[in-house]
Amino acid sequence: MFVHSCYRHGHIFGRDGWKCSFVVGNNTIGEAISDWYFDRNSFQMIDTQNNVPRDCNITVLSSPEFDRKCLKCIKTE
């Protein structure tokens, strides 16, 4: 389980969604899913320490704008 900002619930369906992945418990989303899928680890972490908006109203930010804000947060943490 890798719980993160609601803006990217559908990130697994598009390649661009993987570029903005916070690190939780020293794992990216891709690493956590890979470890779970191949039974290497039963990863269970919830990210509550980031500055990404938690307002799930998709009209607040466009996808490119969200990606810019997300990548900026990752670089400053």
Question: What's the whole-model pTM score?
Answer: 0.47
Structure tokens at 11: 């990130």
User: Which residues make Cβ contacts (< 8 Å) with residue 75, sequence separation at least 6?
Assistant: none
Task: Retrieve residue 31's tokens.
Answer: 């690493």
| Residue corresponding to tokens 């500055």 | 51
> What's the average model confidence in pLDDT over 25-48?
78
What's the pLDDT at 32? 80
Please report the pLDDT score of residue 28 as a whole number: 76
Question: Per residue in 40-76, pLDDT tens?
Answer: 987 676 666 666 555 555 555 566 766 676 666 656 5
Q: Give the mean pLDDT of 2-12.
A: 55
> N- to C-terminal Cα distance for the chain?
22
pLDDT of residue 33: 79
C-alpha count within 13 angstroms, C-beta hemisphere, residue 38: 6
Q: Which two tokens stand for residue 24?
A: 């939780």
